[in-house]
Structure 1
Amino acid sequence: MTAIAGVHPYAEQFPMLTDDELADLAESIRANGLRQPIVVTPDGLVLDGRNRWAACQRAGVKPATMVYEGDPADCVIDANVRRRHMTTGARAMSAALVLAAAGRRRDGRWIGWSRTSQTSGRSSGEREALRQAGVVLDYAPDLAAPVVSGEVTLNAAYERAQRARGSRRLRDDEDAARAHLEEHAPELVELVADGTHGSYREVAWAALLIEDERAGAARSERDHQQQSKRTYAHLAGTVRFLAQLDAALGGVNRVMDAYDPAALDATAGADPAGLEPDSLRRASHFLAQLAEWAERRNKA
């Protein structure tokens, strides 16, 4: 039985279980033993079973090992293809990191993937996720770790990588920059033609930054409008409730004529701690504005 000498770098591209999950696994191994051996390279580096090895160390159990002599990248990816605590995007990004480390990413393509087992039995969605993960590694590699951890979705990272790819073309290719300007900002083509505002690439790059800023402002405005609509809907519901309450009580004014504020303190089980003064003041301000609005509507 080959002794474990450490963890293979490919296996480290997939995240470990949480501390609580490792504790549960260690308890299970302590009670029932290790049911599945840890897969290692001929020189003892863990390819599959990093969590089981950590749990065995916690449980004080010597793990059984099994030597794998094939391609370590294939072994690691196959072993982690169905990790339940990872999303499809996170698994795809981890697999992409393994393949890239194995030298299988070249010129924007996965090299030899038809010969590797990571595509066999995969759904079209999983294959597409691996393709997108490759684009992220090419144009936005800083997002790889956040995708693996779940902090950023693969779709969001892919969109940013696509924008970066388009930006790079405009920055590096004069013909592509001119074509972009002719299609999206033909008035700027003349700025380059007179020779006073730099190259097509420089003007296109500046225009792209402005487009991104405007797009961000448009998104903020749409978010604001949607929030306003939700707020108005809540206010409309409040107004309807107050109208129904007024009708049900035969008129709030008549009820309040006989109201004694001291009754709050005398009420059995009253909990003044649940009354937030600021919330009550905001509610009072809203009702005052609502009364003014109702008076204006009645006079109109």
Structure 2
Amino acid sequence: MIHPLVLDPQGRLLDGRGRLKACEIASVEPAFLTYEGSDLGGYVLSVNLRRRNITKGQAAMIAAKARSDSEQGPRSDSEHTTRSVSEQTGISLGRISQSNTVLQHAADLVEAVIGGAMGLDEAYAIARENKAKANSAEVQLARLREEDPALADRVVEGDLTLAGAWAERTERVEEDKRQRRVATRLLDEVVPPLAQARGTRTFSRYDPAFASGTPITRETITHALTALAEMEQVWQERELP
């Protein structure tokens, strides 16, 4: 074989996909060498951009991936590298920016774009959807943390999906509403009539023989007084009239 296949230091193929496939078809053992230079991303870029009949989308994806592989510095350095790659290759910053979005939010489509199985525009549209979903999920998780920190922790720990956590949260809210509705109706039925009986002869006319349920005892009255005291305390805490 005239040209060996080139691997990076981790054993990943950098150059020679076509030759590797040809070797597999011909049942020939390929020769390999490991790239030992200092500019891995630059090497990948130069090798891939020499390929014939690649589209601007493929070239942009190759350039963006090469920039990502070689990126080491802070963000300002990254921006400079992107601009330099654009100037060196003639690929627009916009197309490289689209490729960066694919790298960040649809990494599984990168090789499909580079290989020509999928266009950059199609991959970019999917990446944008993924990005929007991720942002939406972050917002929903932040809101869940405000409303129910324990459920949010379970999502972060992987015990619950975000959708499952919100379903549980909704169920809890509805159950809380139901309990508040029942409690309010009960107190509305009991407390106002009791207050209206104050200062009247209602209590002196009470006859256990006519009780519709268990007759009222002094113990019942004691519990009722305790309940009213607790009710008064809650009303103060909630600053209700």
Q: Please state which band the TM-score falls in when normalised by the shorter chain.
A: 0.3 to 0.5
Q: TM-score, normalising length from structure 1? A: 0.35
Q: TM-score, normalising length from structure 2? A: 0.42
Rg larger in structure:
2
